[in-house]
Chains A and B, each alone.
Chain A
């Protein structure tokens, strides 16, 4: 009975997928260009979360601490990143004239930020062109030029996630092992709750030991409903969860999946199945497919985006662990090679530290 069901789902949407594939990149790009300036005005509605904020990670955010603006938080999170990068940049921009040595140092800085050879070369060429166009001579002015060049490159990725279009809004989360999927889901749930939405989680990681418990424990602590099954496959959990969300009138449902490396082809097939089965339960869904990336990851992040995009047609990215010394420059490489909107960045362990990505803030935090 069950296998019949499984088999059927395996057949139908597979033919369907290649047909839709060419459309997505095409319409994703204009959107990126059209509405980059829709800033996240509704973000600082966090007071509701304050009562539960300390349960998730034992680095409690003291309540008496004045609310920092989003840019300040990002800056604090990236402080160490900036220290490192800032120091090397300070020596670069310190003064003197613009010469080959300076470009070489600039190259080192960009490469060290994980931007990769291609994006670095692109940025440097861009900066050179701007410098000669404006006739800049002084190294000090180079900084602004570099920031502009980087902004032009990554600003198209800045498209905030809007969950208002559907109810329930189905959000599916994918990623490699240890990228921070489950932790990010917790933060996302908090984020949506802060906006006054009801949230349901689907514990779709049925593979890793205690992944289900991790989500269930988290859900209990934070008063979020979690759909989990003793065993079985993640597609079944997702199916149940979507139906439950419909029945209960939930606003946002977040489907967790097991971590998988893109080289594990059978697991990539499995996650395609999760998507297809979600579509069975709700033909318009999933409305958002997020790939969670670890900011520590090097150039492999680009190939992760490519593989998961090919398999699932990603609609967004989450970049986690930016609070370490990793700079997350790989998003420049992603912007260059496979632009997918960067919805959120994680700048700390606190529950509120997952925030919508704002390119300019990120660049400022990185360089100033």
Chain B
């Protein structure tokens, strides 16, 4: 089962790999693929052009590090560059101001400002124990104020009444006054959706910004937005000193290229992702996840990255030397590998990062429990047995099984798997992290 899974997974990587060496020509081809992928993901064309040029430069200058295949190295560059462009990880809200800290929401019609306001209020209330006040200055869309009121009631956050006959600035100032007198920590000011080219409306939100002096001005962007994201973001960025971006409707199947465009144009961090209509659906932003989503690869790249990051290079080198020197791979090493896997968050976390259908296929098959059991069995062996597994005969097996609380058959199975792995290890003349990782698949029981 797992065999099948991992072959499918490596298939994904292979289609991108396919060449044994990075040549100028196959970078061109691959760059074209990447360009198409980015355009299909709705990354704005100027951003795509610049990105492609940068990656090309980096990929050509870069030598392929020993343990990586050229394909992996290439993906690595694209991916790193994309992640870097997307900015810092999970940049939290800066609410360090004399209370009330004011958060101003801005964006196009239908981007999800009101829903995000509600989600943000709930998030601040629950995770940071803030006293939040919500106020709507949307006096244009019918029932927009009502919508925020309903949301506020659902999350049990205080809502400041406003009326369509009032001016947005007056509403905001009244709410600010109220928040001060009632000791609210945070005031979230929802605004009407507006087109960036609607000068009157842009002036209105500028006036609003001047009046309330928010510590956070969040630009709310629909993840489905297309090429125009560049123009919109530029116009909003010019009009308002934005402090961050919220990307909404991330539960859809849009690849979210707008995020890259907006990030590129405004230079502001993406602070949250809006997921779903439920009010709990506000998630921190991880640039690496979004990078692979834009590239359209599930989180396969994250997986590769995790493997590269977490597997201890020294440990790997030590093991490779051992294999090369012909000194046999023993159960101690086997255990070390399992521990490395645990560092990566266990099988569950690894599986979560595979594309949907793959992880569904694998769930229930590979469990952290099985891994823990292997560890238990190895822990029940003496150091001598671990180094020389051939010592383990019937009575030792019984003792080990009793010690680990398993059946003798499981000890047998482990020893069989170990033996296979050992054979495989001997075949590695050159070695490499990828091969080591692939080698591990043979070690897990029941597959």
Q: Are B226 and A214 in contact (CB under 8 A)?
A: no
Q: Are B227 and A113 closer than 8 Å at their CB atoms?
A: yes
Smallest distance from the beta carbon of A112 to chain B beta carbons, Å?
5
Do A213 and B143 contact each other (CB < 8 Å), given the known contacts A80-B197, A113-B227? yes
Q: Contact: A214 with B141, CB < 8 Å?
A: yes
Which residues from B are CB-within-8-Å of A294? 110, 222, 224
B253 close to A (CB within 8 Å): yes
Residues of chain A from 307 to 336 with CB closer than 8 A to chain B in the complex: 321, 323-327, 329-330
The answer, among B140, B154, B231, for a CB contact under 8 Å with A58, is B140
A176-187, CB under 8 A of B: which get 1 and which 0? 111110010000
Please tell me if the beta carbons of B143 and A111 are within 8 angstroms of each other in the complex. Answer: no
- Determine if B253 and A264 form an interchain contact, defined as CB atoms under 8 angstroms apart: no
Cα separation A221 to B44 with both chains bound (whole Å):
41
Q: Given the interface contacts A177-B112, A210-B150, A218-B142, does A263 sit within 8 Å of B253 by beta carbon? A: yes
| Distance in angstroms between the alpha carbons of A296 and B252 in the assembled complex | 15
B45 & A108 in contact (Cβ 8 Å cutoff): yes
Name the A residues within 8 Å of B139 (CB-CB). 58
* Interface residue SS majority, chain B: loop
Report chain B residues within 8 Å CB of A21: none
Interface residues of B in 120-135 (CB under 8 A from A): none
Give the docked Cα–Cα distance between A301 and B222 (Å): 12
User: Assuming the A-B contacts A178-B111, A262-B252, are A296 and B225 also in contact, with contact meaning beta carbons closer than 8 angstroms in the complex?
Assistant: yes
In contact, A180 and B144 (Cβ under 8 angstroms):
no
CA distance A179 to B251 in the complex (A): 16
Dominant SS among interface residues on chain A? loop
The residue from A113, A116, A180, A263 contacting B110, defined by CB atoms under 8 A apart? A180
**B391 near A: Cβ within 8 Å?**
no
Q: How large is the interface on B (under 10, 10 to 19, 20 to 34, 35 or more residues)?
A: 35 or more
B140 (CB) vs chain A CBs: closest residue? A58
CB contact between B42 and one of A214, A298, A324, A325 (< 8 Å): that residue: A298
Chain A hits for B171, CB < 8 A:
none
Distance between Cα atoms of A289 and B154 in the complex (Å): 32
Whether A57 touches B226, Cβ cut-off 8 Å, given contacts A80-B197, A325-B232, is no
A5 to B: closest C-beta gap in Å: 26
In chain A, positions 108-122 with a C-beta closer than 8 Å to chain B are 108, 111-114, 116-117
Whether the Cβ atoms of B226 and A330 lie closer than 8 Å is yes
Q: Determine how close the nearest CB of chain A comes to the CB of B24; give it in whole angstroms.
A: 20
Task: Report whether A210 and B149 are in contact in the complex, using a CB–CB cutoff of 8 Å.
Answer: yes
B323 within 8 A of A: no
Cα-based distance from A80 to B276 in the complex (angstroms): 33
Which of A180, A298, A323 is B257 in contact with, Cβ under 8 Å? A298
Interface residues of A in 172-218 (CB under 8 A from B): 176-180, 183, 207-211, 213-218
Contact across chains for A117 and B36 when beta carbons are under 8 A apart: yes
Bound Cα distance A301, B110 (Å): 15
Chain A, residues 262-303, CB within 8 Å of chain B (1/0): the string is 111000000000000000000000000000001011111101
CB contact between A210 and one of B146, B224, B228, B231 (< 8 Å): that residue:
B146
* Interface pair B227/A112, CB less than 8 Å apart: yes
Q: Does B436 contact A (CB under 8 A)?
A: no
Q: What 0/1 readout, one digit per residue, does chain B (147-162) give for beta carbons within 8 Å of chain A?
A: 1111100100000000
A180 near B249: Cβ-Cβ < 8 Å: no
Please give, as numbers and ranges, the residues of chain B lying within 8 Å of A215 by CB-CB distance: 142
User: Would A111 and B39 count as touching, CB distance under 8 A?
Assistant: yes
CB-CB under 8 A for A297 and B142, given A112-B45, A177-B112, A262-B252:
no
- The answer to whether the Cβ of B254 comes within 8 Å of any Cβ in the partner chain is yes
Residue B280 CB within 8 A of the other chain: no
B111-123 vs A: 1/0 string, CB under 8 Å? 1100100100000
B258 located at the interface, meaning its Cβ lies under 8 Å from any Cβ of chain A in the complex: yes
In the assembled complex, B108 has its CB within 8 A of some CB on chain A: yes
CB neighbours (8 Å) of B39 from chain A are 111, 116-117
Docked-complex contact B108 and A299, CB < 8 angstroms = no
The one of B40, B44, B142, B147 that contacts A299, using a Cβ cutoff of 8 Å: B40
Complex CA gap A208/B197 in Å reads: 28
Residues in chain B near residue A48, CB distance under 8 A = none
B109 within 8 A of A: yes
Would you call B253 and A262 a contact (CB within 8 A)? yes
Q: How far is the CA of A221 from the CA of B164 in the complex (A)?
A: 14
CB-CB < 8 A to B45: which residues of A?
108, 111-112
How far is the CB of B193 from the nearest CB of chain A, in Å? 8
A298–B196 CA distance with the chains assembled, in angstroms: 18
CB < 8 Å neighbour of B251 from A113, A264, A324: A264
Known: A58-B140, A325-B196. A208 touches B112 (CB 8 A): no
A246 CB within 8 Å of chain B: no
Write out the residue numbers on chain A whose beta carbons fall within 8 Å of the beta carbon of B277.
Answer: 177, 207-208, 259
Among B42, B45, B142, B196, the most chain A Cβ lie within 10 Å of the Cβ of B142
Q: A111-B39, A177-B110, A294-B110 are in contact. Are A324 and B253 (CB under 8 A)?
A: no
Asked if B195 lies at the interface with its beta carbon under 8 angstroms from chain A, I say yes
Q: What mask results when residues 28 to 67 of chain B are scored 1 for a CB within 8 Å of chain A, else 0? A: 0000000010011110110000000000000000000000
| Chain B proximity of A124: nearest CB distance (Å) | 14
Give the chain B neighbours of A114 by CB distance below 8 A.
Answer: 42, 226-228
A297 CA / B258 CA spacing, docked (Å): 10
Decide: A300 near B252, CB < 8 A? Known: A177-B112, A324-B196.
yes
* A33 in the interface (beta carbon within 8 A): no
* A329 / chain B contacts, CB cutoff of 8 Å: 227
Residues of A within 8 A of B151 (CB): 209
Instruction: Specify which of A56, A321, A324 lies most central, judged by the most chain B CB atoms within 10 Å of its CB.
Output: A324
Whether a CB of chain B sits under 8 angstroms from the CB of A43 is no
B42 and A57: CB pair below 8 A? no
Contact partners of B150 in chain A: CB under 8 A: 209-210
| 25 residue pairs bridging A and B, Cβ less than 8 Å apart | A56-B142, A57-B140, A58-B139, A111-B45, A111-B227, A112-B44, A117-B36, A117-B39, A177-B112, A178-B222, A180-B110, A207-B277, A209-B149, A210-B146, A211-B143, A217-B143, A261-B251, A296-B224, A296-B229, A298-B224, A298-B257, A303-B253, A321-B108, A325-B232, A326-B228
With A221-B142, A298-B227, A303-B253 known, 18 other A-B pairs at CB within 8 A are A112-B44, A113-B227, A177-B115, A178-B111, A180-B110, A209-B146, A209-B147, A210-B147, A216-B143, A217-B142, A217-B143, A264-B276, A298-B254, A301-B226, A321-B195, A323-B195, A325-B197, A330-B226
A positions within 8 Å CB-CB of B: 56-58, 80, 84, 108, 111-114, 116-117, 176-180, 183, 207-211, 213-218, 221, 259, 261-264, 294, 296-301, 303, 321, 323-327, 329-330
